[in-house]
A and B are shown apart, each in its own frame.
Chain A
Amino acid sequence: MANVLLIAEHDGTTLNPSTAKSVSCATEIEGSEIHVAVFAAAAASVASEAARLDSVAKVITIEDEAHAYPQAAFIAPQAAELAAGYDYVLAPSTTFGKDLLPRVAALLGVNQVSDIMSVEAPRSFKRPIYAGNAIVSVSVPEGSTIVATVRTASYRAVDMTNDAPVESASLTAAIPGHTRFIELKTAESDRPDLQTAARVVSGGRALASSENFELIYKLADTIGAGVGASRAAVDAGYVANDMQVGQTGKIIAPDLYIAIGISGAIQHLTGIKDAGTIVAINKDEEAPIFEVADIGLVGDLFTIVPELTAALSS
């Protein structure tokens, strides 16, 4: 049997979908028994959601005021303590998991495998390197805990038809005082979440201003899509950082991705490799985005996008 401890990502009230996708990865490990750990100030609602995830054998809650906002320095010592007796410690490769898990690995004295996209054998995994331009197979030596983050775009969320038991754990690892959470600034939006949306419309530098990004929002709202952007658009201040798609932004896998005025740099493309259908609208027929696009249209976005929005809303 392989005991797997998966650290849940949540916002204090609801489970982040990255958790259900990571469970899916854990089920690829032969003979896995999957336990989900919920670190929270008050864990009840998140834990009951986690208990419904198929294939989960148990949910473990660790409640402490310090966990009201997830801080790696607070969770790591407790997660490392909880990890005793587990063969695997997993977390989603989101900013939450990326921040936390290497700290846990180091406390356990082991290395970490980042971004697993498939489990080839109990100790062998595939992962992307060089912005997804190469896939490497790695094999972790026997005898140590495997600590790994899961590339969530490679997995579908498990269903939620389960009713796993929930237990609380009390841990002794001290929470340090050297780190203080001040605030989280999030832009409220009614649009579908970029990381789970079935359709995403993204804009690039060509939009040239935040006002012009309205064109992207209108098209997105017409088809119920989430909105993304290239780094150039974020750097220029047209949109917020949490909309960046790519190597250093979000890695997404919508059914439909529409890239508008985006050239298709490798760092951007790595974020959309798993998209079902990629549509590119660009005035430069030589733009690299057309090499990966399933459907390409050459032309000026300022005429094409309003026309497309009108055509799709009728």
Chain B
Amino acid sequence: MEKILVGLKRVVDYNVRVRVKSDGSGVETDGVKMSINPFDEIALEEALRIRERGDASEVVVVSMGTADAQQQLRTGLAMGADRAILVDTPANVDSLSRARILLKLVERESTDLVLLGKQAIDDDNSQVGQMLAALWNRPQATFASALEFSGDTATVTREVDSGLEVVEIDLPGVITVDLRLNEPRYVKLPDIMKAKKKPLETISMDELGIEAAPAAEETSFEPPAEREKGIMVDDVPALVAALKDKGLV
């Protein structure tokens, strides 16, 4: 395999308890910790392992978003990616456009494998990988928890509702990763220094010849319905009584 392309989305860190702004215009992101989407870190880790065992020669990380995403790309370079591409887009450009952008990059970079997360934890969409595979007319293996390569085929174990599904796909193709695929490495200080010297290129949607597609407009935001305050019981008999009271046992 020559090149692996990995998508890194800048998202609100998974430890942050996200709140809706009081005027319902969005969620509070000011001063909130931002990170690489956790699934994308796993995708990058997998790409690095593939390269390190000699099955690929280059790992390119891509982020679509505003200039802020350079921070996540630098982290990706510090983890070990060879180069980075920032595609300058509005903060939350629609999924179809993101897939079209990735397809342009795949063609430009003649990529054999695209590794993405199974979902971005901000919008919880789970769309971009499948859309890219469709536009590219290539296979997709989503929700991967194990990967094996042999020549130009990949054997992928997928986490599905009924258990584990194993599929074989011919490369090039798209694989989206689930949490149990690997544990991403920690970034060490010297790597952060080295990463500063690695190439990070910025491209505009214009240069790629892509216009944003019509997308659903987000008209208002609200907090989820709150649950009523519950009760604490002291022991098992009290718990059983409370359950019986509600007619649940």
Task: Answer yes or no: do A and B interact.
Answer: yes
Write the residues of chain A forming the contact surface with B, with a CB cutoff of 8 angstroms: 11, 69, 71-73, 76, 94-96, 98-107, 109-115, 124-125, 128-141, 143-144, 176-187, 195, 199, 223, 231, 234-235, 240-242, 247-248, 250, 255-256, 266-267, 273, 276-279, 290, 292-299, 304, 307-308, 311-312
Segment of B44-52, B63-71, B138-146 in the binding face = B138-146
- Which residues on the A side are within 8 Å of B227 (C-beta)? 273, 278, 292, 294
A133 CA to B223 CA, complexed, in Å: 6
Whole-angstrom CA separation of A312 from B173 in the bound complex: 52
| B187 beta carbon closer than 8 Å to chain A | no
Nearest-Cβ distance from residue B44 to partner chain A, whole angstroms: 18
Using A102-B134, A293-B230, A295-B233 as known contacts, say yes or no to A248 and B163 having CB atoms under 8 A apart.
Answer: no
Known: A101-B130, A141-B216. 5 other contacts (CB 8 A): A96-B160, A133-B18, A133-B20, A266-B17, A297-B238
Q: Which residue of B lies closest to A18 (CB)?
A: B161
Q: A96-B160, A184-B164 are in contact. Are A139 and B121 (CB under 8 A)?
A: no
Can you list 17 residue pairs at the A/B interface with Cβ under 8 Å? Answer: A103-B130, A103-B131, A112-B125, A129-B123, A130-B27, A130-B124, A131-B124, A133-B224, A136-B220, A138-B216, A178-B139, A184-B165, A241-B145, A248-B119, A250-B161, A297-B239, A308-B239
Does chain A have a CB within 8 A of B214? yes
Q: A104 — which chain B residues lie within 8 A by C-beta?
A: 134
Interface size class of B (residues with CB under 8 A): 35 or more
- Closest approach, in angstroms, between the C-beta of B178 and any C-beta of chain A? 7
Q: Which residues of A contact B239 (CB under 8 A)?
A: 279, 295, 297, 308
Distance in angstroms from A255 CB to nearest chain B CB is: 7
How many angstroms between the C-alpha atoms of A241 and B165 in the bound complex?
12
Q: Choose from B119, B161, B243 the contact partner of A279 (Cβ within 8 Å).
A: B243
Please state if B217 and A307 are interface contacts (CB–CB under 8 Å): no
Which A residue sits closest to B120, measured CB to CB?
Answer: A129
Give the residues in chain B near A124, CB-CB below 8 Å.
219
Per DSSP, chain A at the interface is mixed
Chain A residue with the shortest CB-CB distance to B163: A186
Q: Which residues of B contact A (CB under 8 A)?
A: 12, 14, 17-20, 27, 94-96, 99, 118-119, 121-135, 137-143, 145, 155, 158-170, 173, 178-180, 213-225, 227-228, 230-240, 242-243, 246, 248-249
State A86–B60 Cα separation when bound (angstroms). 40
Contact A312 B240 (CB under 8 A): yes
Q: Closest chain B residue to A133 by CB distance?
A: B18
Q: Given A184-B164, A308-B239, check contact A241 B233 (CB 8 Å).
A: no
Closest residue of chain B to A135, judged by CB?
B222
**Which B-chain residue is minimally distant from A182 (CB atoms)?**
B166
The residues of A that contact B122 with a CB separation of less than 8 Å are: 129-130
| Interfacial chain B residues near A136, Cβ < 8 Å | 218, 220-221
- Considering only CB atoms, which chain A residue lies closest to B11 in the complex? A130
CA distance A266 to B17 in the complex (A): 8
Task: State the Cβ distance, A263 to closest chain B Cβ, in Å.
Answer: 13
